[in-house]
């Protein structure tokens, strides 16, 4: 019997996830919620970019959509710029008896140690009230720094450091709110967006570092951060908009998990809006972008993952991989006990303990 799924939002991630829900026989689309008035009333197949009529019309009324009592809800609304609203949405869905898999808000990937208890407790209370569970994931933070390092490290006799990297050209990425508002591209170098202010990188990617440490069987002493910015040598345009001369056009940052004075877990991003900028920074393994996991240990590894897609370039492929991870988690999340679920709760890792020798030395 197909799993009845409500879908929320049809942006870059949501549109791809919606297409899978429509085409995958494991699922039955039970409703679609959108925020754009221009999308209300339109068929889900059209909004997913498919040549299909589903008979499911988009609504902007979440409560009405939940009245259909879906087994699970796929939540793909932006959460980073509207955290309280996104948490409230998810709490409402969970309390109504629908499990949730989501691409945001990122802090729910592993909220402990980041969000205050007053923000976590309502989600846990909603899970208890509805007998439901919630799982938030994506690419990075997401499978590129949880599934990959755990799987690779599970082959090691010992591990001294794990480094996860995204190296990508975002020129074709059309997500203006993420690119300009969240990451600060186009701003004068030194005019820092919220994500680059002290402590924010550690908060945003600390969810993955804390979860990795927990999965490997230890706790972090501290989380460090640093970043570099590169200005545009002249003005140019990208898919999301205009980059003025002197505006940030490339960004590199690192977030490190420290134990005993040593960075044992590292997440690094190198993001360019033009391929010729800062050639001295890390380069992707394929044109446009790739993900990389490097393990220092026995054996040591450098694993490059190069997403591609028949429907678009490397940026589309990366987004599609995050959407696929969200949708494919539905059966396991439904089967999981009620509560906030993380990758550590889903059956995929045998890596616990591989750091033991390095940490003891």
Domain edges within the chain: 3-136+318-359, 147-306
For residue 53, how many other CB atoms are within 10 A of its CB? 10
User: What is the pLDDT, as a whole number, of residue 353?
Assistant: 46
The CATH code of domain 147-306 reads 3.30.360
3-136+318-359 and 147-306 share one fold: no
* Both tokens assigned to 155: 């082959």
User: What is the pLDDT, as a whole number, of residue 350?
Assistant: 32
Which residue, among 348, 343, 359, 309, has the nearest Cα to 142 in the 3D structure? 343
At 64, is the secondary structure helix, strand, or coil? helix
Which residue, among 247, 255, 211, has the nearest Cα to 229 in the 3D structure? 247
Q: Assign domain 3-136+318-359 one CATH number from 3.40.50.2300, 3.40.50.720, 3.90.550.10, 3.40.50.10420.
A: 3.40.50.720
- 10-residue stretch averages of pLDDT, the chain, 361 residues long: 95 95 93 97 97 96 97 92 92 98 95 94 98 96 93 96 98 90 94 92 94 96 97 97 97 98 97 97 96 98 97 94 91 94 74 52 56
User: What is the pLDDT, as a whole number, of residue 360?
Assistant: 60
Which single residue is written with the structure tokens 């996104």?
86
pTM for this prediction = 0.91
User: What is the pLDDT, as a whole number, of residue 346?
Assistant: 82
- Classify each residue of 242-258 as buried b or exposed e, where b means 16 or more C-beta atoms within 10 Å of its C-beta: ebeeebbbbbbbbbbbb
* Partners of residue 176 on adjacent β-strands: none
* Both tokens assigned to 136: 């938030």
């Amino acid at each position: 019997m197909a799993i009845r799924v409500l879908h929320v939002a049809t942006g870059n991630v949501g549109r791809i996830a919606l297409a899978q829900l429509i085409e995958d026989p494991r699922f039955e689309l039970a409703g679609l919620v959108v925020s754009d008035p221009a999308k209300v009333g339109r068929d889900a197949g059209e909004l997913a970019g498919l040549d299909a009529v589903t008979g499911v019309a988009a609504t902007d009324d979440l409560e009405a959509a939940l009245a259909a009592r879906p087994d699970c809800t796929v939540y793909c609304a932006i959460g980073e710029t509207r955290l309280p609203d996104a948490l409230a949405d998810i709490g409402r869905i969970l309390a109504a008896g629908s499990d949730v898999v989501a691409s945001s808000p990122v802090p729910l990937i592993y909220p402990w140690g980041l969000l205050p208890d007053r923000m976590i407790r309502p989600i846990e209370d909603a899970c208890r009230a509805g007998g439901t569970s919630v799982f938030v994931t994506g690419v990075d933070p997401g499978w590129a720094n949880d599934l990959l390092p755990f799987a690779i490290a599970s082959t090691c006799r010992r591990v001294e450091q794990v480094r996860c990297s995204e190296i990508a050209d975002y020129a074709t990425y059309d997500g203006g709110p993420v690119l300009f508002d969240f990451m600060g591209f186009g701003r004068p170098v030194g005019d820092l967006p919220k994500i680059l202010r002290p402590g924010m990188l550690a908060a945003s990617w600390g969810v993955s570092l804390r979860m990795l440490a927990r999965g490997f069987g230890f706790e972090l002493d501290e989380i460090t951060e640093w970043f570099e910015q590169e200005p545009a040598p002249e003005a140019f345009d990208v898919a999301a908009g205009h980059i003025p001369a002197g505006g940030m056009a490339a960004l590199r940052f690192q977030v490190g998990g420290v134990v005993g004075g040593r960075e044992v877990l590292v997440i690094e991003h190198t993001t360019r809006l033009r391929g010729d900028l800062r050639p001295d920074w890390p380069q992707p393994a394929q044109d446009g972008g790739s993900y990389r996991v490097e393990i220092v240990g026995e054996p040591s590894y450098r694993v490059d993952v190069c997403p591609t897609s028949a429907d678009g370039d490397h940026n589309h492929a990366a987004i599609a991989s995050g959407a696929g991870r969200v949708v494919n988690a539905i059966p396991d999340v439904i089967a999981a006990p009620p509560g906030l679920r993380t990758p550590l709760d889903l059956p995929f890792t045998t890596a616990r303990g591989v750091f033991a020798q390095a940490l003891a030395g």
